[in-house]
Structure formats: structure tokens, C-alpha cells
Structure 1
Amino acid sequence: MQGDAVVAVGVLAVRLVLAAVLVTAGLAKLGRGVDLRADIERYHLVPVRVLPFAAFLLPALELVLGTALLLNRATPVAAMVATAMFAAFTTGIVVNLRRGRAINCGCHGVLGDITLSWPLATRSLALTICAAVLAGTAAAGTVAVSTADTIATVVAVLLGLCATRLAALSYALNRSHHRLADLISATPSGRR
């Protein structure tokens, strides 16, 4: 029975992390129609005539899927659609990395906007795998989780998301610091 509870808490954690990623990204993209369209267009994977529809659909889909996962409604279906969506994101990232393109990811979520990189592709692949595991687990059914376990898991997920955001901000600040140091060192000493 103890093993079932551990699995249930793990499934709950995965569901909440995916929900947080999707809702955060969807909310961040709302009202960014033209910018979001440009973000999608930079990938050179979506036909131009489909771009307005894709820019409208993406945040709506992220919000619907994230809300469904958060509320544990239609979880198997939401997780399957999220798996396909994360797989498409991963493919887009990898294709553009292989093309040697350094473009903004257009994620607008927990990590903000960052340039495409192999760590980002790995993160996207991890989300794909988590969504696929959740889809399979949710379709098979899981054991119930106590209220205390749910609260502890929610707190752990929120702390993890905060830590992830802080790490991303620290990384961005460090990069900005190095760029500023490079600019200062490139400035002739008499022109400061």
C-alpha cells in the first residue's frame, strides 16, 4: 500500500507541474497575438497562412490543457494532447538547433523567453515524457491521495517552480553581467 501512495503522490506532482507550466505559458501568451505570431514564424515550420490561427490557438490550448490537469478533469485526454504538443515543441526546437538558428524560444512561461539551446530541448523532451507517463498512468487509474499529501505536493511543486525561476533569472543576470563587463572592457579608458 505504501508503494501505491508514493506512485499516487508522484503522479499528482507530475500533473501539477505540467498544469503549472501550461497555465503559466498560456497566461503569458494571452494578448500577444502579433508577437506570438512572430515567435512562431521564426521557427520556419508553420505555413504563413496558418500563423494567425496558431497564434490564437496556442495560448487557448495551453490554458485549457493546464486547467484540465490542475482540476483533474479529462486528465488522460489532456495529458495525451499535452504529450503531442510538447513533442511538437521539442521537434521545433531540435530542428532549429540543427539548422544553427539562435532564436527566441517564444515559451513565455516559467523560464521566460530564452534562446533555443540543447538544455531547452532536453527540458521540452522531459515535459513530453512526463505528459506521456501521466497519460498512461491516468488512463490506467491511480490510487487516491490524502489531503495532507496533496498539500505537501502542491507546496513542493510551487517551491520547485520558484527555484527554477530563480535559477533562470540568475542565469540571465549572470549573462547580462558578462556582456556588460565585455562592453566596459571594450570601451577606451578615456571615454568612460
Structure 2
Amino acid sequence: MVLMVVVQVVVAVRLLAAGAGMVREPTATRIAVARYRIVPVSLLVPTAVVLPVAELAIGALLLTGVTVQPAAFAAVVLHAAFAMAISVNLLRGRSFDCGCRGGGRVIDWTLVLQNLVAAAAAASLVAFPPTRLSGTDMVAVIMLATIAAFSARLLVTARQVAVLAGRVDRLMTRSSI
């Protein structure tokens, strides 16, 4: 059942990171919510306020283990909604900053897949809730999950740097002709 605790911590850290990024940039969050063109204009500001609070609350509930199954169910709903909102916009032919974790990433099908995987991970917590670990074991799991999350982010960043380096290389090649 340690695997389920790792899943619990990873889903929690993902939500906490996203919520923290939105809280740090409230104006950017309102703009991001508006870009999706899913929420009526009259609900843009309330949605931009509630969304990061919901992410932080769900993440905190998962991380502390207070109410894993209800929090995990809420995480399923949230990630499925994100995947749907991104998919709808991609199918509309739109391209813009996703507004996740402080921004800097354009919506794409990989982001849809990441949200669906996160929803599936959260669903596994609803179906197979983890057992309580001792405090020392939980610290170890949190450390491992954090290292895994940072490693995954590092890989994504490395991929983005490689793509940008390829673009720079192509531009340099064109300009020297």
C-alpha cells in the first residue's frame, strides 16, 4: 500500500503547486480562466478565486490524509474538467498559455493526457485508499514523491529547452544563408 501513499502525495503536490502558482498571480489566473471561454463572463472572477482555493484545499486534504477518498474524488472531477476544457479549446483550434502553475506552457494534447493520468491516479485513491503510515514513513514517502515530481518537471523543462534550442538553431541557420 506504500504505492498508494506515493500516488496520494504526488496528486497532492501537483494540486498544491498549481494552486500556489495561481494564488501568487491572481490577475494571470483571471486571464487564464477567461482564455478558455468555458465560464460565463459573470463567473470569471468567482471561478478565478475559487479554483486555486479548491486546488490548495484538495491538495492539503490529500497530503495530510484527513479525508483521502472525498478529496481524491474532488481531484478526479477537477482534473477531468481541466482535460475537457483544454480538449474543447484544442478542438476549436485555439492555442494559448494554459495558466497552470504560474503559466509559461501552451495548451496541447500532452497536457490533456497529463490531466487524464492525474484523474486516473486520483480515481485509484478513491477505489483503493492508502493505509495510514507512521510519521517517519510518511516523511520518507513525501520526500520520494517530491523528488519524483521535481524530476518529472526537470524532464519536461529539458524537453522544452531542447525544442527551443532546435528553434534557435533553425533561426541561426536561416539567418546565415
Same fold (TM over 0.5): yes
Q: Report the count of equivalent residues.
A: 177
* Partner of residue 73 from structure 1, selected from 44, 53, 66: 66
Unpaired runs of 5+ in structure 1? Answer: 1-7
The amino acid of 2:12's aligned partner reads A
Structure 2 partner of 1:3: none
The amino acid of 1:173's aligned partner reads V
Distance 2:168 2:131 in 1: 53
| Secondary structure of the corresponding residue to residue 119 of structure 1 | helix
Structure 2 partner of 1:166: 154
Structure 1 partner of 2:120: 129
Deviation at 1:26, TM superposition (A): 0.8
Structure 2 partner of 1:118: 109
Give the TM-score, by structure 1 length. Answer: 0.84
The amino acid of 1:153's aligned partner reads V
Structure 1 partner of 2:3: 10
Structure 2 partner of 1:181: 169
Deviation at 1:185, TM superposition (A): 2.4
Q: Which string of whole-angstrom CA distances, capped at 9 and with x for unpartnered residues, describes residues 53-72 of structure 1? A: 11111111111111111110
Map 1:23-172; keep pairs closer than 5 Å: 23-108=16-101, 113-138=104-129, 142-146=130-134, 149-172=137-160
Q: Which string of whole-angstrom CA distances, capped at 9 and with x for unpartnered residues, describes residues 5-41 of structure 1? A: xxx2111011100110011111111132221111111
Deviation at 1:129, TM superposition (A): 0.9
CA RMSD of superposed structures (Å):
1.9
Distance 1:107 1:31 in 2: 12
Unpaired runs of 5+ in structure 2? Answer: none
Residues 173-182 or 49-58, more deviating: 173-182
